[in-house]
Structure 1
């Protein structure tokens, strides 16, 4: 994709593909101030040909209002709508989807950007799931399923979901996804499981709904995004050491990534959302604005049977199936 790389900014992506932004209706989760979701929205608003409507889905209006205000300053022609949602709550996701359906018949791009990382103490969601799994995967799974009809009303729908190379720390724990009710809980294994779930979800969505271009992205290490709100830099380095040891045990080389700014961090999300040629690579994983060859993705994150199994398990958890 162009000469996009680790240093590419979201604005550069948008400026190169402004025709693919024009008039679009775009929904973004996790758009609080100083987040990757907010930065993506700012970039989109500054496109030479702007989207018509940006829908911001977040837990707290107070943290999203500054984002709405800045979008208005950047481009007053872009309509913005805030919809409250707690992605760890099935009931909240259902209410959010219902509200969206009430004011728009179409969504061109859904960006599943929200997430939490490394919750130190074992915590359950309102529905009884480990919190990182609930907020990172289950909520986004249900939201996407509930909004599928609106996505299919678009001529070229896309679903972009954020994961992390942290997925390399663990396959999905089908036999113990709730960590024996906390007895076997490890904050980084729980995070890795949730990020693997994002990978498998995208793989299966691409298969089940071929009309939708489904892509999953690693934004990079973006320290200013609030990534450390549940942990510390010291703990993050410990996580890198765990991943490094696992890689070296398999004869692989592990290099700690250079941090990115928020603008650099949102660039891969926007690449996945906008670049036309990626419509032919639904199900792919992107990093540094480029598609990662499938052979470089851990086997457990490209396992089609695991993807099918997780999808069906998720349907049972939320009590919802695709209505196509």
Structure 2
């Protein structure tokens, strides 16, 4: 895909694909300072053919205002707006979607980037779901569904959702997704389940959109290991090392040597998100999983994220959780 690689930066992507940036409206979740989403927004704003509008969704304006200021400094012509969003509270998701509908008549690209990682203690959302599942998947599921009319109004709209190779640590636990209300909670299994849900959601969204003949594409992205991102800064080194050892042990049981990923800079980390958001070559690969700015080979993916029946089951379960049907 073009000449993009794991070393490509977000700025390089948007300048190469600037014609796909020009005049579009981007909606991005989780763009707090030092986040991948913030870096992606800044890269878009720096394109020589800039977007018309960037709508930034997050819980706290004070954490996002520096990002807005940086975008304005890069290009003051871009309409940049903050809308409050707490993905762990479905009422605020609904309010957020309603506010976005007041700001724009279409959404060209929705980037579902927000999330939390490996909470040490079991916590539940305002609606009673394990917090990582709520923030990474359920909130984004509802937001995407509510924004479908605006996505349908755009030619060739895209939904880009972040996952992680952490998905490899757990299939979706249909029989106990809430970890027996915390009694069986494992922070890394919970994180893995949430990231698996991101992949399944994407493949099912792509399938349903294609089945209805919609000009809507969905892609899921592993951005890489970015130690300087906000989500990683919240983890202590002891926890990371423990997770690494547990992962090595699990791979060893399967007779596989585990080789940790080489970390990326935050500028490199946002590149794959932007490739998924912009590259024309992806149009014939609806539902693709991207890694290192290229399509991640299906044969290298874990079997559970390739199971169409599980993806359908999760979609229907998610509709029940939010009390609405989409597509």
Residue pair 1:168, 1:243 contacting (<8 A) in 2 also: no
Paired position in structure 2 for 1:242? 246
Runs of 4 or more above 6 Å deviation: none
Per-residue CA deviation, residues 42-76 of structure 1 (Å, 9 max, x unaligned), is 00001110000000000000000010011000011
Residue deviations 1:222-252, cap 9 Å, x none? 1111123442122112222222322332233
Larger mean Cα displacement after TM superposition, 248-257 or 166-175? 248-257
Count of residue correspondences = 323
TM-score, scaled relative to structure 2: 0.97
Residue in structure 2 matched with residue 277 of structure 1 by the alignment: 281
The SS at the match of 1:55 is: strand
Which string of whole-angstrom CA distances, capped at 9 and with x for unpartnered residues, describes residues 151-196 of structure 1?
A: 0111110000000000000000000000000000011110000000
Q: Distance in 2 between matches of 1:228 and 1:291?
A: 24
Give the superposition deviation at 1:254: 2.1
TM-score by length of 1: 0.98
Q: Secondary structure at the match of 1:227?
A: helix
The answer to whether residue 311 in structure 2 is matched with residue 307 in structure 1 is: yes
Does structure 2 retain, via aligned residues, the 8 Å contact 1:30–1:113? yes
1:195 aligns with 2:195: yes
The unaligned stretches of length 5 or more in structure 2 are none
Which structure 1 segments of 5+ residues have no match?
none
Distance 1:53 1:228 in 2: 29
The equivalent of 2:209 in structure 1 is 209
Q: Partners of 2:247 and 2:69 in 1: how far apart?
A: 40
State the alpha-carbon separation in 1 of the partners of residues 300 and 34 from structure 2: 31
The answer to whether residue 152 in structure 2 is matched with residue 148 in structure 1 is no
Which shows bigger deviation, 242-251 or 51-60? 242-251
Matches of 1:150 and 1:240, distance apart in 2: 41
Cα contact 1:206–1:283 (8 A) shared by 2: yes
Conserved? CA contact 1:115–1:135, under 8 Å: yes
Residue-by-residue CA offset, 1:97-120 (whole Å, 9 max, x unaligned)? 011112211000000000000100
State the partner residue of 1:135. 135
Report if aligned partners of 2:27, 2:54 keep a CA contact under 8 Å in 1: yes
Please tell me whether residue 33 in structure 1 is matched to residue 47 in structure 2: no
